[in-house]
Structure 1
Amino acid sequence: MGALRLTSLRLRLVVVFALVALIAAAAASGIAYWINRDAVLTRAQDAALNDFRDSLGDTAGSVSRRTSCDELQDAADAMANSAERYEVVLISRRTGGPPCRAASHGDFTLDDVPRTLRTAVNRKREVDAANPAEYHLYWQRIDLDGEPYLVSGATVIDEGGRPAPTGYMLKSLAAERDDLSSLAWSLGIATALALVGSALLAQAAATTVLRPVQRLGDAARRLGEGKLNTRLQVSGTDELAELSRTFNRTAAALEKRVAELSAREESSRRFVADMSHELRTPLTAITAVTEVLEEEADSLDPMIAPAVGLVVSETRRLNDLVENLMEVTRFDAGTARLVLDDVDVADQVTACVDARAWLDAVELDADRGVMARLDPRRLDVILANLIGNALKHGGSPVRVSVRTGKPGAATARRAAGGDELVIRVSDNGPGIPEDVLPHVFDRFYKASASRPRSEGSGLGLSIALENAHIHGGRITAENAPGGGAVFTLRLPRDASRLAPDRDRDDYRDPDRGAGQELDQESGQDGTRGGAGTGTGGEGDR
C-alpha cells in the first residue's frame, strides 16, 4: 500500500499545526511531569528518611546489647507509630546470645531488603576528615508485588562506640504514585486539548489564507476558459492582496492583447475572404481565355506553345488556391455547414475515383450497400485529397478499404453514437518521414524546405481534416509496418446531430451574401477536379 499523500494544502496546514502543537505540548508536559515527579518523590523520600533517622537515633539508640527481644520489639513498634506511616525491622547483636530481630506489625521482613542495601548498611567505613562516621544511612526505591516502596537502613552506635541495633524502614509510595498518575492524566488531557485547539486554529488560519487562493484559482480557471473580463476584488495590503492585484493587471493586459490579436485575425480573415472574392471575377475571365488558348494550342506557333501551357497550368493552380483559401476562411469563421444526404459509401468512393480518372491506379475494397448520412460533397473532398495525395507521393496501386464498427472514444465524444465508418487509404511508397508525420495536416507545411513552391497549395490535407471534424470525425496518418503511408478516416455513419441546417437543400456561401449559391461545378465547392477535390499538393507530405 502506497504512502498517504497529503494533496490538500488545507490538510497539510492542519497537519503541520497539529504536529507542532503536539510536539510542543508533549515536550512541555513531559518536562513538567518529570520535574513534578522528582519533586514529589524527593519530598516524600526526604521526609521519611529524616523521620526514620531521628526515630532510629532516639528510640533504637537507647537499646544496648543487653536489651531483650521484647524490648527491641517495643522499640520497633514505637518507631512504626510515626506520622510517616512506615514499617520497621530492628536487628540487635546481643552479648552472649544469638541476634534478635523485631519487626513492626506488617508484612515487612528482612528478606524484602535488597542484598546490596544490607551489605552497604553493615559495611564499616574508615573515619577520616572526609568521612566522620563509620556507618551511614542508605536508601533505595524498589517494587514489591507491583507496588512502589522506599526502603532504607542504618546501623546505630551505642555509648561505647559499638554497633547496636541495625534498623530497616519500608515506606509505601503508592500515594505519591497515584498523585503522579493524576498529574500524568491531567497533562495528557491538556496535550489533547492543545492538539484540538491547534487543529481549530490551523483550520481558521487555513481558511483565512486559502480563501483568497481559492478565489484566485477560480478566477484563473475562468480566465483559462476564455472569460477575459475576470477580475478579483482586492482588499488589504498583504502578499495575497498584492498577488490579486498582479493577477488583475495580468488579466487586463491579456484581455487587451487578445482583443488586438482577435482584431488582427479578423482583419486577416476578412482580407483573405475579400481577396478571394475579388480574384474570382478576373480569374473567371482569365480561365475562359486560357481555355480558348488551350483549345488552340495545336495551331499556335511552336515557340509560344510552351508559354501558353505554362499560363494555363498556373491559372488553374491560382484558381485552386483561391478556392482553397475561401474554404479555409469558412472553417475559421465557423460558417461551414453540412448538407446531409444518404449515400452509398462504396458508390461515393467509386464516383470520386472515376471523376478523376484514377480507376486504373486505385484498388477498392468496399461492400456495396454500406449507407451513411453524410455531406457527399465534403466526403468527396476528403477522399479526393487522401487518394490524390497517396498517388502523388506513394505511387500506385493505392488501396482504399471501407469498414464499419463501433466508434472510438474520440469519435463517440463528438458524434451521436452508433456505428462508425472507417475508410483507410494506403499506398506502396516509402512512407512519411518521422519528423514530417506530426505536421502532415498543418496548413502550408512543406516537407522539404528546398521546395517551397510545389504543384499543390499545401492546404489539401488540412481541408480534408476540417471536413472530417465538421462531421464529428477525424483523420490519422501513420506508416505501415511493411512500408507505405496509411491515412485512416473515421466518421459517424449518421452526422445528423452535427447538422442543424440539414433540412436545407442548398449550400450558400456566407461570405458572398444570402442569395448567391456557390458554383457546384468548379473548384473546392464542386465535385469535379480542382485543388479542393484534388490531391492536396506536394507540400502536404
Structure 2
Amino acid sequence: MRLSSLRLRLVVVFALVALVSAVAVSGIAYWINRDAVLTRAQNAALNDFRESLGENAGALPRTPACDAVQGAADTMAGSTQRYEVVLTAGQRDGSVCTASSDPEFSLGDVPDALRAAVARKRPLKGPNKAEYHMYWQRITLEGEPYLVSGAKVIGGGPTGYMFKSLAPERDDLNSLAWSLAIATALALIGSALLAQAAATTVLRPVQRLGDAARRLGEGKLDTRLRVSGTDELAELSRTFNDAAAALEKRVAELSAREESSRRFVADMSHELRTPMTAITAVTEVLEEEADSLDPMIAPAVKLVVSETRRLNDLVENLMEVTRFDAGTARLVLDDVDVADQVTACIDARAWLDAVELDADRGVMARLDPRRLDVILANLIGNALKHGGSPVRVSVRTGTSAAGEEELVVRVADNGPGIPEEVLPHVFDRFYKASASRPRSEGSGLGLSIAQENAHIHGGGITAENAPGGGAVFTLRLPRDAGRPAPEGDGGDADGGSGRTGPDGGADDGEAGR
C-alpha cells in the first residue's frame, strides 16, 4: 500500500520507531529478569541440594540398606526449596537400590547425558580437586519445566538427583511478559497519538502553504500567509510571501505592457482602416483602368493594387487578432449542414476543380457559420498554396475523449509535407519557416486565426504529415458549441466580418512548406 499522505507516513514512522524501541527495551528487560529469576532459583536449589546430599547421603554406609536410602531421600526432599530426590546406592549383592521421594519421579526421568556426566570420574590433577562433580540441566516433563541436578557422594557413596519445579518462575516470567506486552502496546498507542499531534502541529502550516500556493496558481496574486514565530516553517512562509509579492509586481508590469501593446495594435488597426478604405477605393479605380494605362505605368499600378490588398488583409487580420486577445470575440451560433458549408466555402473561392470533397449530406452541427468558413478557407487555401492540388477534404463524426459527439474535418494536400522542425510552429503568429522568403502574399496570421476560431468553439486543429506524403490538418469541433467558451477564448462581440483574405477567404499563414 502506498503511503501517499505525509500525515500517515509520519504516524507510521513514529509508530514503527516506538514499536521497535518498546520491543527492544521489553525484550532486553525480559531476558535480564528471566536470567536473574532463573539464576537465583537455580543457585538456591543447587546449593541446598549440595549441602543436603553431603549431610544425609554422605552419612550412609558404602552399602546401605534400601530403607536407609529411602529415608535419606525423604529427608532431603523435606528441604525448604521444595524439590524431589532420587537416590541410588550399590548393595552387597551387586544390585542397585533406587529410592525416590515422589513416585512420579524415577531414574528414567534423568537425561542420559546428565547421568553419564555425573558418573564420570575425573582425574585429580591441576585445578581439579574432586573426582566427581555436580551437573545440572533444565528439562520439560509432561509440559512442566524442571531443573534436574545430579552428584555422586565422594568416596563411593550414593548418587543423588534433584528435580526442582520451575513452574512458579515460569508463571512469574509469563506475568512479566504480559506486563511488558501491555506496556509496549500502550507505548505504541501513545506514539501514534503523539505522532498525530506532531503531524497536526507541523503539517498545518504546510497545508496552509499548499492552499496559498494553489490560490496563487489560480491567479489570486494577492495571496499572503500569516507569519508567526522564527522557526524554519515561519521562514518558509516569509519566503513565500516575498516571492508572491515579487510575482504580483512582475505580473502587474507585464499585464500593463501587454495591455499597452494590445491597445496600440487595436488603435493602429482602427486608425489604418479609414485611410485603407480610401486607398482601396482608389486602387479599384486604377485596376479598372489598368488596360488603358501606359505599358510603362501598368506594372507599377498592378504592384500598388496587389500591395494595397495585402495591406488591407493584414489590417483586417490584426483587428481579428486583437478581438481574440481582448476576449471580446463571441460566437453567433446556428444549425449548419457541414457538407453544405464546406461546399459553399470552396465554391465562393472558385476551388471546385482543385478540391475533392468527401462529406455526407445531412451532418448537422450547431456552430458559428462565419467562423467555420474562416477556418475552412484558411486550411484549404493553405493546402492549395503550399501542398498543391488535389486537396482532399473529408467530414466525419466521432466521439471525443470526454465522450461527447464531435465533428472531424480533415484537409490533406498532395505536397511534400511540413518539415519536422516546423510542425510545432505552424500555428504561431507571423512564423515563417524560411528566412530566405520573408515576404509572401499572406500575413502569417491565417492559421493562428483558424486555431483561435476552433478554440472558441471548444475544439482545436492539429497538423501532421501523412505516411505517404503530404500534410494533413485535422479540425475537431463539438457538434454543439452552445456550452460556455473556455476562459480566455473569444470571438467577435458583434459578429463582425472578420475577413482574412480579399475574398473573405484564406490567408496562408506561412505554414512553412
Pairwise same-fold verdict (TM > 0.5): yes
> Is 1:326 equivalent to 2:319 in the alignment?
yes
1:535 equivalent among 498, 507, 512: 507
Q: CA deviation at 1:156?
A: 1.4
Per the alignment, residue 473 of structure 1 pairs with 459
Distance (Å, rounded) in 2 between the aligned partners of 1:508 and 1:121: 113
1:230-268 CA distance string (max 9 Å, x none): 111111111011101101111111111111111111110
CA–CA distance in structure 1, aligned partners of residues 503 and 422 of structure 2: 22
Alignment correspondent of 1:489: 475
Distance 1:130 1:458, change over 3 A: same
Task: Give 1:292 shift.
Answer: 2.1
Where do residues 51-130 of structure 1 align in structure 2 (5 Å cutoff)?
51-128=48-125, 130=127
Asked if the contact 1:324–1:459 (Cα under 8 Å) also holds between the matched residues in 2, the reply is yes
Match of 1:438 among 407, 412, 424: 424
Corresponding residue to 2:413 among 410, 427, 432: 427
2:355–2:389 CA contact under 8 A, matched in 1: yes
| 1:131 shift after superposition | 1.8
Q: From the superposition, tell whether residues 369 and 19 of structure 1 become closer, same or farther in structure 2 (CA, over 3 Å).
A: closer
Kept in 1: contact 2:426–2:510 (CA 8 A): no
Matches within 5 A, 1:302-451: 302-403=295-396, 405-409=397-401, 419-451=405-437
The one-letter code of the counterpart of 1:489 is L
Matched letter for residue 56 of structure 1? L
- The equivalent residue for 2:26 is 29
Q: Is the 8 A contact 1:41 1:176 kept in 2?
A: yes
CA distance in structure 2 between the aligned counterparts of 1:508 and 1:193, rounded to whole angstroms: 70
Aligned residues: CA RMSD: 2.0
Distance in 1 of aligned mates of 2:56 and 2:388: 127
2:19–2:187: 8 Å Cα contact kept in structure 1? yes
Q: Call closer, same or farther: CA 1:345–1:122 in 2, change over 3 Å.
A: closer
Match of 2:438 in 1: 452
- Cα deviations by residue, 1:148-204 (Å, 9 ceiling, x for unpaired): 1111111113xxxx3111111111111111111111111111111111111111111
* One-letter amino acid matched to 1:253: A
Q: Larger deviation: 135-144 or 363-372?
A: 363-372
Q: Which amino acid aligns with 2:59?
A: S
Q: Once the 2 structures are TM-superposed, how far is the Cα of residue 406 of structure 1 from its aligned partner?
A: 4.0
Unaligned stretches of 5+ residues in structure 1? 500-506, 510-516
Q: SS at 1:338's partner residue?
A: coil
Structure 1 distance, partners of 2:133, 2:493, is: 120
**Does residue 301 of structure 2 align to residue 301 of structure 1?**
no
Change (3 A) 1:89 1:482: same
Distance 1:27 1:115 in 2: 38
The CA distance in 1 between the partners of 2:286 and 2:183, in whole Å, is 105
Name the TM-score, length of structure 2 as normaliser: 0.94
Cα shift at 1:66: 4.6
Name the CA distance, whole Å, in 1 between partners of 2:40 and 2:187. Answer: 30
Is 2:171 aligned against 1:178?
yes
What is the TM-score with the length of structure 1 in the denominator? 0.89
Match for residue 47 of structure 2 among 40, 45, 50: 50
Q: Which runs of 5+ in 2 are unaligned?
A: 486-491
Tell me if 1:232 matches 2:225. yes
Alpha-carbon distance in 1 for matches of 2:217, 2:321: 26
Q: Percent of aligned pairs with the same residue?
A: 81
**Aligned amino acid, residue 350 of structure 1:** T
**CA offset at residue 393 of structure 1?**
0.8
Q: For residue 59 of structure 1, give the secondary structure of its aligned residue in structure 2.
A: helix
Helix, strand or coil for the counterpart of 1:15?
Answer: helix
Contact kept, 8 Å, 2:382 with 2:511, in 1: the verdict is no
> 1:213 & 1:46 partners in 2: Cα distance?
61
Alpha-carbon distance between aligned partners in 1 of 2:366 and 2:8, rounded to the nearest angstrom: 54
Give the CA deviation at 1:441.
1.4
The Cα shift of 1:84 comes to 0.9
Match of 1:260 in 2: 253
Structure 1 Cα separation of the partners of residues 324 and 479 of structure 2: 22
What is the CA–CA distance in structure 1 between the aligned matches of 2:95 and 2:346, rounded to whole Å?
134
Query: How far apart in 1 are the matches of 2:479 and 2:83?
Result: 102
SS of equivalent to 1:409:
coil
Residue aligning to 1:289: 282
Match of 1:248 in 2: 241
Counting matched residue pairs gives: 507
Compute the displacement of 1:16 (Å).
1.1
* Contact map agreement 1:64 1:164 (CA 8 A) in 2: yes
140, 144, 150: which one aligns with 1:143: 140
The answer for the alignment partner of 1:196 in structure 2 is 189
Aligned 8 A contact 1:320 1:531 in 2? no
